[in-house]
Amino acid sequence: MKAVKILSIENATRNVMHVKTEKPQGMTYLPGQAVDVAINSPKWKDELRPFTFTSLNSDMYLEFFIKTYPDHKGVTKQIAKLINGDSLLIGDVFGDIRYEGEGIFIAGGAGITPFMAILKDLDKNNSIGANKLIFANNTAEDIIGNDFFTQLLGKNFVNVLSKEENKKYEHGYITKELIESQLQNDKPHFYLCGPPPMMDAVLKQLKELGVEESRIVKEVY
């Protein structure tokens, strides 16, 4: 584990922290990959939790968006209390989510993080193309990176809010019909990341739409 200083930590939404840290020398990672992180204090140093880089390997810093769960009384509750200059321990890089071709990214809440890195990387290479993002959240305030994705994807950024009625966005949960309405080419790839109930529901919908497993890239958060 390598200790890195927190360069900045602030609320991105009411329960998500936006964290930037130093980058350990020699470390490399791919868009979509995650790393084991611990808080560098005697009590918490052995409590490793996985978080996904939202920075790119070419950045001089590491960036994360970390949803905090105060009820769990675990690591993320403590992360919310950290300040600039505190330090984190960074462990092994892992993860298989990667870009395999144009398609539809479907994320729930903090499940957006691997797609933020992948879409940033596509943008950097001028190859954002017709990729789409369907993003499910409770309310508009919970949308991580709303301005970023709106600017990047325009009408290809579709928000679905379960606990807020808002004329700008879809209301409810992701449905088969919503996914179907976004299909445009014959064989798009599907990228899925979110909490278990969302993953189960969307995987069932994709099956009903006749999407083969081989076209689905997924990770449960």
Identity of the residue, 75 or 136, whose beta carbon is nearer to ligand FAD in the bound complex: 75
Q: Is 215 in the site for ligand FAD (CB under 6 A)?
A: no
Q: Is 205 in the site for ligand FAD (CB under 6 A)?
A: no
By rule CB under 6 A, what string of x and - marks binding of each residue 21-60 to ligand FAD? -------------x--------------xxxx--------
Q: Which positions from 142 through 181 interact with ligand FAD, judged by CB under 6 A?
A: none
Which residues neighbour 196 within 8 Å (Cβ) at sequence distance 6 or greater? 220
Candidate list 72, 155, 167, 168; residue touching ligand FAD; CB under 6 A: 72
Q: Which one of the spans 6-14, 67-75, 135-143, 152-160 is the region binding ligand FAD (CB under 6 A)? A: 67-75
Question: Is 8 in a helix, a strand, or coil?
Answer: strand
Q: Which spans in 25-175 are helix H?
A: 75-79, 113-124, 146-153
8 A C-beta contact, residue 88 and residue 37:
yes
Question: Is 89 in a helix, a strand, or coil?
Answer: strand
| AA identity, residue 93 | V
DSSP conformation class of 169: S
Interface residues toward ligand FAD, by CB under 6 A: 34, 49-52, 64-67, 69, 71-77, 95, 110, 113, 219, 221
